[in-house]
Amino acid sequence: MVPSRSKRPSILLLIASIIVIALSDVVNSAKILCLFPTGSKSHVLGPQTLLKHLASRGHEVTMVSAFPLSKPVKNYRDVYVPIQSGFDTMMSKFMQGGSRNMFRMMPVVAKISMDYNNDTLNSPQFQQLVREERFDLAILGYFMNGFIVGVGSLLKCPVVMYISAGFNQVVNFVGNPQEIASVPHLFLGNKNPMTFMDLVKNTLLSVFEAGFITYIESVTKSYYYYNFPTEKGFPTYEEAKLNISLMLCNAYFTQTVPRPMLPNVIEVGGLQIKSKPDPLPQDIQAWLDGADEHGVIFLSFGSNLKSSSLREDKFEAIIGSLGKLKQRVIWKWDTDQMPRKPANVLIGKWLPQDDILAHRNLKLFITHGGLGSITESMYHGVPIVGIPMFGDQDHNVAQVVEEGWGESVSFDNLTESALTGAIERVLGSERYTQKIQNMATLYKDRPQSALDLATFWVEYVVRHKGARHLHYQGADLNRWQRSLLDVLVFLVAVPFVVFKILGVLLRKLKKQKQKAADANRVSKLKKKY
């Protein structure tokens, strides 16, 4: 029969191509380990998104962290290692209005983070992985824990570093040019161009930072050599750092400033943001859908700060202000009940922030100003009122105010009238929303999504077994070599030595000539008499 004859080859072709695809999947599938011992859930959102995507492409991924996925995903295995929540007391002190001086806080934060990491490396769960399994790649989450680079030689596989923030000197393990004259430090804000006084500040900041890095690295080394002793054949800390294949940074230049980047430093800002939001929990969906023309305000202090530990007067100020608004409010609240909760406020412990910000009725985000929150808000075109609390949040919020898509209320000035004033200013004018929508457009206009870009480079490193050819030779140079001081010395020294030798020779020649002339004269005189 004619029809079946023409069908059979196409079915065979289909089966053959399925087999080929299945086989090629097996061939290309890699075993990837991600290690991110952190107490901040917001820091693991990016890697989780990336790993889920890698899993969907057939790779076998393992995530070692304190934050397992809530729903299991095929090819994705969580190795849960709980960590002492050393940050909690610090966070509740912030919420009580305690000192937020980051310069004093930094060494404490660094120590806590290194202890988390040390505990995880020494946990039975991680040790078992090391003993029993082989991996093709390790993705290591960075937060003041540089010593975990040793995991590369422990597992004998290439290393990709993931940074939850923008690229900076503290994580510059690959020799990226620093350019103090043209790249403003985070603490200076994203100034482009910088004035002369900015340059002076930038220079001083870089000197201060170099001191901080020296300190951090010295602490890090003691953790490194405890876990990866050279006597047991591990490379030195410096060698291990130079062996990093790739750095993924959760930042993007339209949000900061343009800067030189090596081919192995990849900006994947917005990695955690879904281009299509997931369905919301029913109560949240109904609350958002059912809002009138005034819309909904979302309030969250992020994943570390607990709203329930807010100082009493600050809490009163916030509910006083929110309770009088025409808008509905969603507040990320960490206990089951909120005292004196206004009727227009809905509370929830686990809120999908990215999906809520994506809702068309969402008008304003009241946020502590963490980088992830600021980025998601910008991406979805939602203006903000920032209440910065610690770390980079002051700078993030100041930047938003400068860019014109939000207002700031400092914790010290947080009163009912100050908060209401800021909310009314932002909601009362179109200019905030217009500004943010322009920025969102620029942020999204890329040749490929952050997720696809990160995926490409991770697979690239696997394909090329560490992609050693990406290594920048500048990474191997010290400060003097990088500024060519050794060559300058050489260039000055060579002519100097040559001239010196020539001078000596000339003088010798002159002397000989003189001698010869003298001898000549003497013999002439002798002949005369």
Ligand X SMILES: *[C@@H]1O[C@H](CO)[C@@H](O)[C@H](O)[C@H]1NC(C)=O
We find the least distance from the C-beta atom of residue 417 to ligand X, in angstroms, to be 49
Site for ligand X in 95-134 (CB under 6 A): 118, 122
By the rule CB under 6 A, 238 interacts with ligand X: no
We find the least distance from the C-beta atom of residue 501 to ligand X, in angstroms, to be 44
- The 3 state secondary structure assigned to 419-456 is HHHHHHHHHCCHHHHHHHHHHHHHHHCCCCCHHHHHHH
**In a 3-state reduction of DSSP, which class is residue 137?**
strand
Assess contact for 91 and 306: CB atoms under 8 A: yes
We find the least distance from the C-beta atom of residue 371 to ligand X, in angstroms, to be 29
Q: Which residue among 37, 47, 141, 152 contacts ligand X (CB under 6 A)? A: 152
Q: Which residue among 95, 389, 466, 470 contacts ligand X (CB under 6 A)? A: 466
We find the least distance from the C-beta atom of residue 372 to ligand X, in angstroms, to be 29
We find the least distance from the C-beta atom of residue 86 to ligand X, in angstroms, to be 13
Q: How many residues does the chain have?
A: 529
Task: Report the Cα–Cα distance between both ends of the chain, in Å, rounded.
Answer: 137
Q: Which residue among 58, 86, 235, 421 contacts ligand X (CB under 6 A)? A: 235
Residue 153 or 438: which CB sits closer to ligand X? 153
Binding mask 410-449 for ligand X (x = CB under 6 A): ----------------------------------------
Question: What is the phi/psi pair of residue 76, to 5°?
Answer: -115, 120
By the rule CB under 6 A, 226 interacts with ligand X: yes
Following DSSP, what letter does each residue of 161-220 receive, concatenated?
A: EEESS---GGG--S-----TTTS--GGG-S-SS--HHHHHHHHHHHHHHHHHHHHHHHHH
Residue 494: CB atoms within 10 Å: 10
Q: Which residue among 17, 222, 413, 514 contacts ligand X (CB under 6 A)? A: 222
Residue 244 or 356: which CB sits closer to ligand X? 244
We find the least distance from the C-beta atom of residue 147 to ligand X, in angstroms, to be 9
Residue 141 or 158: which CB sits closer to ligand X? 158
Assess contact for 470 and 246: CB atoms under 8 A: yes
Q: Which residue among 243, 256, 344, 396 contacts ligand X (CB under 6 A)? A: 243
Assess contact for 353 and 373: CB atoms under 8 A: yes
Q: Which stretch binds ligand X (CB under 6 A): 238-246, 258-266, 306-314, 489-497?
A: 238-246
Question: What is the phi/psi pair of residue 510, to 5°?
Answer: -55, -45
CA distance 381 to 441: 9
We find the least distance from the C-beta atom of residue 239 to ligand X, in angstroms, to be 5
By the rule CB under 6 A, 84 interacts with ligand X: no
Assess contact for 485 and 278: CB atoms under 8 A: no
Site for ligand X in 328-357 (CB under 6 A): none
Q: Which stretch binds ligand X (CB under 6 A): 168-176, 222-230, 387-395, 493-501?
A: 222-230
Assess contact for 405 and 387: CB atoms under 8 A: no
The residue ranges that bind ligand X (CB under 6 A) are 118, 122, 152-153, 156, 158, 222-223, 226, 235, 239-240, 243, 466
